[in-house]
Structure 1
Amino acid sequence: MSLKEIISNCKKATFLIEKKQIGGITMREEMALQLHLACCSLCRVYEQQSIMINDLIHKFQFIKVTQLDDDLKKEMQKQIAASLEKIN
């Protein structure tokens, strides 16, 4: 197998990895992907990282962002200014 064929197969595999996470792949695509992953450690690592990134994105979508109230902001600014004065 030439380097060009290997790279082409890795491109196809990474495409299928992403497609699988988004909406699913056909049985034939799943078989081709599993066959490639059995032989390619780089694509296995890519798949693990891709799954982890997608999981983190989904978790962070539902985190409520809290905003600081004005009094706390002013107090923090005073503390920062006091710390900077000590340094200078």
Structure 2
Amino acid sequence: MNELTKIAYNCKKATFLIEKKLIGKITLREKMELKMHLAGCTICKTFERQSAVINRMVKELFSNVQKENLKLDEQFKENLQHRLEEELNK
């Protein structure tokens, strides 16, 4: 199977390219591969739309947070750190 047809059956690579496209630039080859995959994969098309909405919302959230200079309280940060360490040590 050649490289271009591999993407047609590779949702993992397609979702990677979708995210890469949303945060920066993808090459012409990557654009072609992604377009080819999205032509036949409704799940990845939905993922692309949802990911774009989520990225836009996060950007808006961080924009608003920077304007308001909001901070997490120390207890919340400590609890979050503890939970992350527990998950990483499983």
TM-score norm. by structure 1 comes to 0.63
Structure having the higher Rg = 1
Q: Quickly say closer, same or farther: Cα 1:11–1:62, change in 2 above 3 A.
A: same
**Over the residues paired in the alignment, what is the CA RMSD in angstroms?**
2.4
User: Equivalent residue for 1:42?
Assistant: 43
Aligned length: 63
SS of structure 2 residue aligned to 1:62: helix
Deviations along 1:53-75, one digit per CA (max 9) or x if unpaired, are 000001111214488xxxxxxxx
TM-score norm. by structure 2 comes to 0.62
Runs of 4+ with deviation above 4 angstroms: none
Aligned partners of 1:15 and 1:51: how far apart in 2? 13
Deviations along 1:8-37, one digit per CA (max 9) or x if unpaired, are 610000000001111110000001100100
Aligned partners of 1:25 and 1:66: how far apart in 2? 33
Tell me, which stretches of 5 or more residues in structure 1 are unaligned?
A: 68-88
SS of structure 1 residue aligned to 2:19: helix
